[in-house]
Amino acid sequence: MPGFELFGDKERAQVQEVMDTGVLMRYGFDGMRGGQWKALELEKALESKMQVKHAQVVSSGTAALTVALVSAGIGAGDEVIMPTFTFVASFESVLALGAVPILVDVDDTLTLNPKAVENAITQRTKVVMPVHMCGSMADLKALKSICEKYNLLLLEDACQAIGGTFEGKPLGSYGDLGCFSFDYVKTITCGEGGAVITNHEEYKLNADHYSDHGHDHIGKDRGAEGHPFLGYNFRISELHAAVGLAQLERLDEFLAIQKRNYSILREALEGVDGVTFRRVPKGGEENCAFLNFFLPDELSAKKAHKALGENGVDGCFYWYDNNWHYYRKWEHLTDRKSLGNLPKEVLNGLQDFSKIDFSKSDHWVGRNISCLIKLGWSEIEVRERARKIVNVIESC
């Protein structure tokens, strides 16, 4: 990742087909578009690739999460359980609906700890949202069992893990709903874009209507369409969908490159004293977008991360001190900073972060270094990178 590293003739050809029609909007202008419906094509291609009945493409991964939640009826005061380690979009999508994000610990998978999830369930809990961070998955079997026990929705945030699988199923398809991001730094990119996938027809219809101002899309006259409920504008453009179509066709190609590069780096690090790797749940296969490993303690990880940067090894992340991906730097959430007044359901429902102990998350994230796997590396470059990483860590 990311897919933009290998932009080429296939992406250009798809975009040119849109430009030749001049129709950049996914709806309407039937007579002008010459039979070109890129967003619809991308949805059909996703349904096939992800082995689901329905897909809805939208303007971003954040939009996908918001649309997925509202399509299942999530709203004001409903609680959504999610991990302390994710991207800010996960809780932003919840707050946008007046619902309440409930953060819980991660474990050695760097994703939701099932025991922490079950301990956090209340009468207001409606959704468990595992976030498959850095290319690998949560313990989906355990989480699905919990959801069935308490009649909760299982929503997979697979924005960073497209192409990974669990028990033979594509990530995103195991739960009730799954979401992807196609932003500029994802394994496949539209530039900006996202998608919701599901096997529930009701959720698909709701997502289809909600993401386009509530339009029911019945008939061929857009101006005469009905509005069965309120919606917003989360549409993807035909240009973005065209790029996504080309990239999705190349997903297997990208995954094979990622796996090769990941395997070279991991094999080199397996012989380094003190290095261990994140746990991948039994039955799971990563998409190999990142290589995640642990050092013995927080101090060692910080020292190694700094040394890697100083020695020219870019693309290695220490999420523990990252502003976007770990709860410790989410002051806008923990201090409830908002341009306008937050809904009372949110104010009354948010956790008191001054009193919560997330030391179990700190134990894992504080020791983790996450190395981005690029598509553009040659095998020679990967092996040289592996040599540098090993030398740096062994010298720390």
Calpha distance 235→194 (Å, rounded): 10
Q: What is the pLDDT of residues 164-203, one digit of tens each?
A: 999 999 999 999 999 999 999 999 999 999 999 999 999 9
Res 41 pLDDT > 90: yes
Res 38 pLDDT > 90: yes
Residues 219 and 199 sit within 8 Å (Cβ to Cβ): no
Calpha distance 188→71 (Å, rounded): 25
Q: Which of 49, 126, 144, 186 does the annotation list as catalytic?
A: 186
Buried b (16+ CB within 10 A) or exposed e, 117-137: bbebbeeebbbbbbbbbbbbb
The pLDDT of 262-284, averaged and rounded, is 97
The pLDDT of 317-324, averaged and rounded, is 96
186 is catalytic: yes
In 3D, which of 152, 143, 130, 135 has the Cα closest to residue 85? 130
Buried b (16+ CB within 10 A) or exposed e, 335-369: eeeeeeeebebbeebbeeeeeeebebbbbbbbbbb
Q: How confident is the model at residue 1 (pLDDT cuts 50, 70, 90)?
A: confident
- CA distance to 38, 263, 275, 300, per residue, from 385 (Å): 39, 13, 17, 20
Of 66-70, 219-223, 249-253, the range with the lowest mean pLDDT is 219-223
The pLDDT of 351-362, averaged and rounded, is 96
Strand bridging mode 276-277 / 290-294: antiparallel
The pLDDT of 253-262, averaged and rounded, is 98
**Distance, CA of 136 to chain centre:** 11
Res 396 pLDDT > 90: no
Domains and CATH numbers, the chain: 3-250 (3.40.640.10), 252-395 (3.90.1150.10)
Calpha distance 174→138 (Å, rounded): 11
| Percent residues over pLDDT 70 in the chain | 100
Q: What is the mean pLDDT of the chain?
A: 97
**Distance, CA of 376 to chain centre:** 22
Calpha distance 92→393 (Å, rounded): 36
Res 144 pLDDT > 90: yes
Look at the block and give the residue holding tokens 């540098």. Answer: 388
